[in-house]
Chain A
């Protein structure tokens, strides 16, 4: 029985977990990605306790200071501590990035699976709509949606999610079709299983790994989009510390003190790069054939 116990059917999560381990064994950069991301995540969670200053409180007397013992990364135009603002900013970036991607993942996967499974005209039309949305510059789409809805946290999440639904639909559709072609699905039909059962009990566990790996890559993309929107002026309203917003403010003073724009820029780069490293390594482990495709 001991052998039997080790061979239980594995869920998509378990498969991702074991793939993660494999990825980390073969691909050291995944470790770097994971470590960087965890650091940022912990900082974001602990920001209220570890931030040295209030991120919003202004101090006109210490504006535009360089790095010092009290302000490790200096202060901005209103004398606010940049390090503290970066720490709090991480929270908004991660919340928006993860929530928007999760929403897109669920909605997109369902659309993609249904289209892939039922095929035919339903598939053609759905995917055509998705392709058009996909071809449409996502930043422009996000821009318009946020502009129409107004820049609240929820609206930004919705806008970013809407722009990445087509990608997830595509990601979910391709493996659904290839799994559907396999004979165990046809066997299931001849055994009298319902479509819902075949889709969610038999097909879904076979494609979760692919979808979850994409989750990390698309979270990276969502964080980038959120920052871009904030940079354009469609982020959370000031004085809320968002990285994109900080760059926007810093950019206005770029000639005198360029680090104001550079620091949050590097922060975004680190998080996005970390997630990309992680997702890229995971994907290698899941399907060596997909190596390096985005």
Chain B
């Protein structure tokens, strides 16, 4: 297990390095001079040159690269072109909001999705299965902003259970109000994904020889499902849920906009609109870190769930 972890950690570092390099190259290779993009089409050549100097784009590529890498590692991601504050500070101030939202959504998704998926699988081709499949298909057809808007219209505008614009979280109720709708919005979509993954993983596992063995030795059906089958089904579920966390983070952008909730999503959209180039670069670094961290966490959970991993 330790060897496995060390290897995955080493791998995560390599991934991080590779993605940082790609980000560095994307920004410089894609058509369009960042300085020109920042200043707009009408800017004169002198201003653009000044901006290039300010961004350090006039230095040799290798120097920029070394600078970028060491900065990324030290947490020095430059200064926002708009607010003048260090990018890392801006990012860290909203990061907890996004993480909080994502974690609660994951929790809601798993709490709803796993039981529903199991329920559908054991009732394969019966009405329950059919209903759950259609419902989950509908759930994952929702763009997160459409479902968000519908929730907003229903619960905030029509029913007035929640404020339309959340943001204050001085008291416990304010905190809850700012969290419930966005987390439910993301959580339901996540639940739709998890339901489907769980269902198909369970169907696969339930047809395995060892499930037949368990039945042949007289294990009660509940124990066959929850102990023999689910323990195995969790292995693919973990992998795929790990992948969907990427979708979840993407959806959190839309959710944050709809519910006007601070977070990485709002930050990156703001940076895009204001052409805050250093901020954007910093955002890409933080997203990469998140992705790598999620991958690593998935691997760890996977290693715990699958005894065969230890051997390799």
Contacts and interface: CB of A to CB of B under 8 A. Distances in A.
Contact of B157 (A128, A258, A277): A258
B137 A273 contact: yes
Interface string B16-38: 00110000001100111000010
Interface in A63-119: none
Nearest to A170: B243
Nearest to A277: B137
A144 interface: yes
A137 B249 contact: yes
B193 A268 contact: no
Interface stretch (B45-53, B65-73, B169-177, B195-203): B195-203
A138 B250 contact: yes
Contacts of A294: 140, 193, 196-197
B250 A269 contact: no
A289 interface: yes
A140 B196 contact: no
B141 A276 contact: yes
A47 interface: no
Interface in A146-195: 147-150
Interface residues of B, number: 59
A151 to B, nearest CB: 11
B210 interface: no
Contact of A233 (B19, B203, B273): B273
A255 B157 contact: yes
B204 interface: yes
Contact of B280 (A129, A144, A251): A144
Interface string B252-268: 01100110000000001
B291 interface: yes
Given A140-B268, A258-B153, A258-B157, A272 B141 contact: yes
A254 interface: yes
A262 B150 contact: yes
B30 A149 contact: yes
B138 interface: yes
B249 A140 contact: yes
A251 B143 CA distance: 15
Interface of A is mostly: helix
B287 interface: yes
A261 B272 contact: no
Contacts of A148: 26-27, 30-32, 37
Nearest to B252: A137
Interface stretch (A3-11, A13-21, A196-204, A223-231): A223-231
A233 B200 contact: no
A220 B141 contact: yes
A258 B149 CA distance: 9
Contacts of B137: 273, 276-277, 280
Nearest to B23: A144
B197 A139 contact: no
A128 to B, nearest CB: 8
B47 to A, nearest CB: 20
Contact of A136 (B251, B272, B287): B287
A132 B245 CA distance: 13
Given A273-B141, A289-B204, A291-B203, A143 B153 contact: no
A35 interface: no
B284 interface: yes
Interface string B181-223: 0000000000001001101110110000000000000000000
Contacts of A140: 249-250, 253, 268, 287
Contacts of A293: 196-197, 200-201
Given A136-B19, A149-B31, A234-B272, 18 more contacts: A135-B295, A136-B287, A138-B250, A140-B253, A143-B253, A143-B268, A231-B257, A247-B149, A258-B157, A262-B149, A265-B149, A266-B146, A268-B143, A269-B142, A272-B142, A273-B137, A292-B136, A293-B200
16 contacts: A132-B19, A132-B291, A134-B246, A137-B250, A139-B253, A140-B287, A144-B26, A144-B280, A227-B145, A231-B257, A247-B149, A258-B157, A261-B149, A292-B136, A294-B140, A294-B197
Question: Which A-B residue pairs are the 3 nearest by beta carbons?
Answer: A139-B250, A137-B250, A293-B200
